[in-house]
Amino acid sequence: MTALLTTNLGATPLLGRGKVRDLYAVDDALLMVATDRISAFDHVLATGIPDKGKILTQISLFWFDLLKDVIPNHLITAEVSDFPASLHPYVDQLRGRSMLVKRAQMFPVECVARGYLAGSGWKEYRVSRSVCGIALPPGLEDGSRLPEPIFTPATKSEGGEHDVNISFAEMEGIVSPTEAEELRRLTLQIYRRAAEHAEQCGLILADTKFEFGRIAQGIILADEVLTPDSSRFWDGKTWKPGGAQPSFDKQFVRDYLEEIQWDKKAPAPGLPGEVVERTRAKYLEAFRRLTGSELQS
């Protein structure tokens, strides 16, 4: 298996390359192509994970369909045969990993929902017994379930920097108070629906982040949704508060990079075959358990 690290769609205008996705302009729509690039510690690594882009795209498509009665989304089509004819010669780069989507005015905040204490939330709790200004009970541990899900927005990072957690009041200074309230409501509603589905699959959705945009018809869900890149999924059978939980994401990659004591500066190193294979298997397991189906190649 080989990893697709960069796409080239000929004369199709390239708008930019993110850590994972390449974004193209297609008439009045956008084409998002998820490559197999993988990042860690804010750097894209020299080695990709075969099929990672397909896994992320197809998980997102599953959730867009499951959540369509909660909120509309930006998807136009993921069928390459329905793309404009100019893209058909590039089917090998697009099949299973691309989405033609609506252009939207994106809200400049990350909308984060947390049902469990982990990551930056746990670090903040240890200092202030709160997360993003929300007071939490004493005695919680790393991995503890929260009394109820909370909305903890963050700024969108620029230039690969870390997102920064902000309070709801700070969010109201970035978007209008009415918009902030609606985004909080939508975020928690989607989280609860997704967490319920994940639980039925034997998984815990510890936290996740969403991106929303606005079109003429109103607010829509955009970008990727509820994938191992944007969400923390744990195995319900092995969950035990009191420390970091094994997750369905790139933890094998992070562990390897810590092991080799990389200084977290460019250029980023490559990965050995075993780490690539174990990471791919973890992503694929998350896909199968969440969707109940096999990956479309």
Condensed to tens digits (0 to 9), the pLDDT of residues 217-273 reads 999 999 999 999 999 999 999 999 999 999 999 989 999 999 999 999 999 999 999
pLDDT for res 297? 83
Report the pLDDT value the prediction gives residue 161, as an integer from 0 to 100: 60
Which ranges in 67-172 belong to alpha helices (H)? 91-94, 119-128, 168-172
* Neighbour-count burial for 202-235, b at 16+ CB within 10 Å, e otherwise: ebbbbbbbbbbbeeeeebbbbbbbbbbbbbbbbe
Peptide bond connecting 267 to the previous residue in cis, omega within 30 degrees of 0: yes
Domains contained in the chain, CATH given: 1-103 (3.30.200.20), 105-235 (3.30.470.20)
pTM of the model: 0.95
Long-range CB contacts (within 8 A, 24+) of 188-196 = 188/113, 188/149, 188/151, 189/70, 189/71, 190/67, 190/70, 190/71, 190/113, 190/221, 191/113, 191/115, 191/149, 192/149, 193/66, 193/67, 193/70, 194/63, 194/66, 194/67, 194/226, 195/115, 195/149
pLDDT means per 10 residues in the chain (297 residues)? Answer: 96 97 97 97 94 98 97 98 98 98 97 96 96 96 98 81 87 97 98 98 98 97 96 97 93 93 93 97 97 93
The pLDDT of residue 251:
87
pLDDT at 163: 80
**Three-class secondary structure of residue 27 per DSSP:** coil
